[in-house]
Amino acid sequence: MAVGPRFGLVSMGDSLVDQHDGLVDSWIGNPPYAKIGAKGHRRWRAEFSDIAGGQLNIYAMFLRRGLDRVRTNGLLGFIVPMSFIGSPDYASFRRRLAQMSQIVSIDLIEKRKHVFLDVVQDACFIVVRRLEEALEPETTGAVSAACCMVHAEGETEALGTVEVSLDGLPWRLPSRGQDGKGGATLSDYGYETRVGYVVPQRVADRMHRRPAKSRFPLVWAKAVGSDGRFDFMRAEHQSQASGRLWFEAKAMAPYVFRKPLVVVQRTSNRKQERRINAAAVPKSFFREHGGLVGENHVVLVSPIEGRKPVVPPKDLAALLNSGPVNERFGRVCGTVTVSALLLSSLDLPLPQRVLGLAAKRGEVRDKAVLTAYGEIAR
């Protein structure tokens, strides 16, 4: 009589606190997605110091613990949020994961609302293989991993390969469009990024409904239109704003911006066509009001002090709103939050290319930027 394969005992428990003897062949998990807070940091940060670059998240802790529990060549398969792929908070986690294991595959889960109930983050299924010896901490470069799209019906679609950095830099998902590198960042255009200063619940007493001396326009994310236009008054009826569009501040406060710039929505949603939604604030707005202050849900892309921008804000906004730039940003950002740091390091076409098209066509529009980025990317 044929005898089927024998499997070891499958046990259940909390792997963060339970004690286990010996190693296992595989480790599968769908851990909670949540930051551990100040109390959790005091309890766990020392134990997970090699992945605690930013705020520790429970799912990263479970995956890291699993690497210590599988034998050499053992496999780990976890369903986790995609935020770790590009977020600066997960640089240490990405580095340690790539040092201790071979990243076998990262499969993206399409239409998460049709797969998981009440999940607000994009998720993926990552499979890694434990290395016999971890790579040296100073190891640099990149390796590749397979990547598929898992559809709600269970079918998979091959997308290509993920570029896995070995030194903590954002991993790059495969592109559905053209691939390659533009070779420039926002600093090459003469711009830098900062998150809006105002957190409404903390400074509500300084927010007002009418302009007055020592009050500056408070720019909310809703001021950025889907058409790429800036409309300050659009946020007037936003629930959190409640008509409070003016912020009391000292004229020389470092968070008051006084020169034309680009405002980017810090959080996108699934109803929007683009991940990056940007709008230029015109010179006339600054002439009228003298400056502006950003609410915490916007990223302000402003000229670097002492440098003249290579392109004006309206052209930079068109560049950021273009399809190819959004495609590139989507490859390194696995969450709906637009990180200011990630935006500042985003690979962009060389300014000379954009300037050349601007001279030919009068100004940069989406079609022109598409051509520029396409030529750079080939």
Q: What is the pLDDT of residue 1?
A: 47
- 262 with 152, same domain? no
Q: At 79, phi and psi to the nearest 5?
A: -95, 115
Are residues 277 and 215 located together in one domain of the fold? Answer: yes
In a domain, 177, yes or no: no
Q: What is the pLDDT of residues 181-190, one digit of tens each?
A: 567 889 999 9
Q: Which residue has the tokens 């990243």?
A: 103
Q: Which two tokens stand for residue 128?
A: 């890694």
Place of tokens 């909670």: 32
Q: Does 191 share its domain with 148?
A: no
Place of tokens 């479970």: 62
Inter-helix orientation angle 313-321/323-332, to 10°: 60
Residue 313 belongs to a domain: yes
Question: Which residues, at least 6 apart from 10, have a Cβ–Cβ distance to it below 8 Å?
Answer: none
Q: How many helices (H) and strands (E) does the chain have?
A: 9, 16
Q: Are residues 361 and 220 in the same domain?
A: yes
Q: And the tokens for 112?
A: 């998460």
Q: Kindly report the average pLDDT of the chain as a whole number.
A: 83
Q: Is the pLDDT of residue 34 over 70?
A: yes
Residues 140 and 215 in one domain: no
pLDDT, one tens digit per residue, over 248-295 is 999 889 999 999 999 999 987 656 678 899 999 999 999 999 999 999
Measured at the CA of 96, the angle between CA 94 and CA 97, to 5 degrees, comes to 65
Q: Are residues 127 and 226 in the same domain?
A: no
Check whether residue 102 and residue 239 sit in a common domain: no
Could you tell me if 156 and 205 lie in one domain? Answer: no
Q: Which of 165, 198, 229 is the last residue of a domain?
A: 165
Q: What is the pLDDT of residue 182?
A: 63
User: Cβ(206)–Cβ(248) under 8 Å?
Assistant: yes
Domain final position from 136, 165, 194: 165
150: Cβ contacts below 8 Å, ≥ 6 apart:
107, 108, 109, 110, 125, 156
Q: Which residue has the higher pLDDT, 358 or 48?
A: 48
Euclidean distance between CA atoms 14 and 319, whole angstroms? 48
In a domain, 52, yes or no: yes
Among the residues of 7-152, which ranges form H helices?
Answer: 37-44, 58-69, 91-100
Residues 233 and 349 in one domain: yes
Q: Is 35 contained in some domain?
A: yes
Q: Is residue 27 exposed (0-12), middle (13-18) or buried (19+ Cβ within 10 Å)? A: buried
Same domain, 41 and 157: yes
Residue 13 lies in a domain: no
pTM: 0.71
Most confident of 11-15, 31-35, 87-91, 144-148: 144-148
Same domain (yes/no): 208, 334: yes
Co-location of 348 and 291 in the same domain: yes
For the chain, what percent of residues have pLDDT higher than 70?
82
Tell me which DSSP letter residue 135 carries. Answer: P
Range with the poorest average pLDDT among 2-16, 103-117, 156-170, 357-371? 357-371
Which tens digit of pLDDT belongs to each residue from 113-169?
Answer: 455 544 556 788 999 999 999 999 888 899 999 999 888 777 888 888 888 999 988
CA distance 285 to 297: 20
Kindly report, residue by residue over 193-252, the tens digit of the pLDDT.
999 999 999 999 999 999 999 999 999 999 999 889 999 998 887 777 788 999 999 988
Q: Where are the alpha helices (DSSP H) in the chain?
A: 37-44, 58-69, 91-100, 283-289, 313-321, 323-332, 340-344, 351-361, 366-377
pLDDT of res. 121: 64
Q: Which has the closest alpha carbon to 267: 247, 246, 288, 295?
A: 295
Contact 84, 123 (CB under 8 A): no
Assess if residue 310 is contained within a domain: yes
Counted domains in the chain = 2
Quote the domain boundaries for residue 144. Answer: 24-165
| Pairwise CA distance, residues 369 & 315, whole Å | 9
